[in-house]
Structure 1
C-alpha cells in the first residue's frame, strides 16, 4: 500500500516521514521500499495511527459535524470545547491486570501522532507489535498551554499528567456508550471497547531516505505554538505575581508576630 498526503492531518504519512509535496511523495513511492508494519483494531474497525475515547473522540465528532475541514476548524473546536469537557472514568484491562482511571482522554497509538505533528505517543513504533496506551488525567486550565506545547515538541510522555504503557490487547469499560474514534473518524460505540494489535499485518511503502527527526511544519502546529506560547508566558507572569504576593503576606505576618 502506498500513502499519499491528501488528508486533513496526514498523521500516517508524517509518521512514515513521507514528503507533504505530492510529486516528491510519488517519487518516494516509486522506490517501492516495502515494509511489513502493524495496524490496530478497535471494536472490529481497523486503524493505522491512533484510536481512542474521551476528549479526542469528542473533538473528532465536533470536527466532523462542523462541515468544514482544515486545521483552523480543528483548533477552533479544541479551544471552544476544551473548557466544557468533563472527564470520565475508564476501567482498563490488559495482560498485567485491571485498573481504573479518571481521564480526560484515553488514546491508543500504533503510530506516534494524530496528524499535523501533534505527537500523542512520541515513542510509538509501527513495527514493535505493541500498542502505546496513553491516559491523560484531568488537568487545570493553567496547565493547558504546557500540554499543548509538549504535544507538538514530542515531549508529552514526560508530563506528570500522562500515564503510558504498552500492550498487545486491552479491554476498556466505561459507564455508558459513547463516542470513540479510529484515525479521527468518530462513531458511537458500546460501553465496552476492545483494542488489539495485528503485528506486521500490512505492507506499506516507506521512505528509504526518511530520518527519525524529519519533521515538516504545518499551519496547525505553528498556530497552536504561537497561541499557547503566549498563554504560557501569561501563566509564568501570574506565577511570579503570586509568589510576590505570598512573600508580602509572609512579611506582614512576621511583623504582626513581633
Structure 2
C-alpha cells in the first residue's frame, strides 16, 4: 500500500461569511485517509499563515491547504513559493479569485473531494514591490476600494459592489510614468491592474485572456473613466470580454515599472498594502505548485 501523503490544513477562523458548517469536521469525514495523513491548524493572528505554511514546506509536507478567502490563500501561498509543497484551496471567502480561475468548486464538500481526486499543476506568480500575488495586483481605484473595504465591518460581495458604486465616479485619475516591454510613456491612470489570473474574484474578469501558466502578466490600463466607459468596462468584466479600446488598454509583459509624482495606493490579491510612488511588478514563472481538479491542466 502506498505511503499516505502528508497534508496540513490551515484554517482562518474569521474568513468569509458566517457559516454553521464545521469545516474541520467535514475534513475529517470526507478526506481520503488512504491517500493522506492529515493535520488541522488554525491561524491566530494576521501573518500567521505564511509561517505555518513555510514550516510545513520545510518539513517536507506534500500539500498545504488554505481554508479561507483570497487573503488566506495569498498568505499560505507565500509560504510555499519555490517549494515542492503544493497549495490546496478550500474556498471560504467572498471573492475566491484563484480558486475560481483553477476551477476549484465553491462547495466545501466538493472542494475536499477535489483534494482526493485532483492532481498537482505548476503555475506562475507575480510580485509587486516584492510582495507576492497570485491572481492580480493593482494601483489606483481598485487599491482604493481595497483600502475602504478593509476598514468596513460588513463583508461580502454586496458590500463590495456598494462601495464601488458609491466611489467610482468621484475617484480621480493620476498622471504616471510607466515602462512596459522596454517602452516608457507618460499617461493618466485611473487604475492599472497586473493580472496573473483572469479575474479578481466573483467572476469579475479584469484580464479575460490571462493564462496562469504562460509566464506573462496581463496589464489592464484604464486611463480615465466617465460613465460610458464605466458601464462598458463593467459589462465586459461580467461577460468575460475585453473592454473597448477607448475604455481600457491591454499589454502582455514580464516586467513593469511605474512612478508617480505623489504616492498612490496599491494592493495584492485584494489586500491593501499602502501607498508608494515607485512600483516594480514582475512575473515569476512556474513558481507555485497547486492541487487542481482532474481534467484541469
2:232 to 128, 132, 146: 146
Match of 1:97 in 2: 183
1:103-126 CA distance string (max 9 Å, x none): 210000000000000000000011
* TM-score (normalizing by structure 1): 0.78
Query: Which residue of structure 2 aligns with residue 227 of structure 1?
Result: none
Q: Name the structure 2 match of 1:120.
A: 206
Match of 1:179?
Answer: 265
SS at match of 1:106: strand
Give how far 1:101 is off. Answer: 1.6
With 167-176 and 143-152 compared, the bigger mean Cα shift is at 143-152
Q: Which has the higher helix share?
A: 1
Give the alignment partner of residue 109 of structure 2, picking from 12, 23, 30. Answer: 23
Superposed displacement of residue 137, structure 1: 2.3
Asked if structure 1 preserves the Cα contact closer than 8 Å seen for 2:118 and 2:291, the reply is: yes
Deviations 1:136-168 (A, max 9, x none): 121321332222111110113444321111111
Deviation for aligned residue 1:209: 3.6
> Which residue of the partner structure matches residue 274 of structure 2?
188
Shift of 1:210: 4.9
> Is the aligned partner of 1:66 residue 2:184?
no
Q: When the two structures are superposed, what TM-score results if normalisation uses the length of structure 2? A: 0.68
Paired residue secondary structure (2:290):
strand
Distance in structure 1 (CA, Å) of the matches to 2:247 and 2:228: 13
List runs of 5+ in structure 2 lacking aligned partners.
Answer: 1-86
Tell me which structure has the larger Cα radius of gyration.
1
Which of 1 and 2 has higher RCO (CA within 8 Å, sep 6+)?
A: 1
Higher strand share: 2
Aligned to 1:14: 100
Q: Deviations over 1:44-103 (max 9, x none)?
A: 110000001111000111111112210111011001111210011121113331011212
Structure 1 gap ranges (5+):
212-258
2:140 to 44, 54, 66: 54
**Cα separation, 1, equivalents of 2:239 and 2:187:** 26
RMSD: 1.5
Contact 1:131/1:168, CA 8 A, preserved across alignment: yes
Aligned to 2:125: 39
* Number of equivalent positions: 211
